[in-house]
């Protein structure tokens, strides 16, 4: 079929003539609604981007001389972040002579890791970097993607 015939056929049907493989001999063309094709491609791309599960890193800063109530408050936030599927970076900030007693900060991080061991695992053990001691916790279960969350909400268990 010649180019003129293909263009006439496309015009009769109200479609566009789109060149699919220009390097082929002869070049390959297709009759399609190009505007709709672009719209659906954009829609698929947005859906794929939405389904992409980016891991976020939340940070919780603590002091070595933290009171028990403040520790429980921070623990609640850390637990919430981990249950949401986010990684948590715990930072103990030492000031002045507190740096001499690093074991207090290490014990505090170990205590927090012990309290959340059912929802998290230690990715990086406590390590001193300058005046800060850092530990990273990984959630045990991965964050559900939006598609899975919507699917589970629509299908209640019998």
- Tens of each residue's pLDDT in the chain, 158 residues: 777 888 888 888 888 888 888 888 888 888 988 889 899 999 998 888 877 767 788 999 999 999 999 999 999 999 999 998 899 999 999 999 999 999 999 999 999 999 999 999 999 999 999 999 999 999 987 655 555 555 555 555 54
Per-residue pLDDT at 143: 59
pLDDT of residue 157: 54
- Specify the pLDDT at position 151: 54
57-139 maps to CATH 3.40.1050.10: no
Write down the pLDDT at residue 131.
93
Specify the pLDDT at position 2.
Answer: 79
- Give the model's pLDDT for residue 144: 58
Q: What is the domain partition of the chain in residue ranges?
A: 3-49, 57-139
Specify the residue for token string 């290490």: 106
pLDDT of residue 26: 83
Query: What pLDDT does 140 receive?
Result: 86
The CATH code for residues 3-49 is 3.10.20.80
pTM: 0.59
């Amino acid at each position: 079929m010649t180019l003129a015939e293909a263009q006439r056929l496309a015009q009769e049907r109200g479609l566009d003539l789109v060149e699919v493989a220009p390097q082929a001999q002869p070049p390959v063309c297709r009759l399609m609604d190009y505007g709709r094709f672009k719209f659906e491609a954009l829609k698929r791309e947005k859906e794929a981007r939405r389904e992409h599960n980016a891991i976020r890193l939340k940070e919780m800063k603590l002091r070595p001389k933290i009171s028990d109530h403040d520790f429980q408050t921070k623990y609640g936030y850390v637990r919430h972040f981990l249950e949401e599927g986010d990684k948590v970076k715990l930072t103990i900030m030492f000031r002045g002579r507190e740096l001499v007693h690093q074991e207090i900060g290490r014990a505090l991080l170990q205590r927090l890791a012990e309290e959340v061991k059912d929802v998290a695992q230690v990715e990086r053990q406590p390590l001193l970097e300058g005046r800060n001691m850092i530990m990273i916790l990984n959630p045990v279960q991965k964050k559900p993607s939006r598609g899975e969350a919507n699917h589970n909400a629509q299908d209640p268990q019998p």
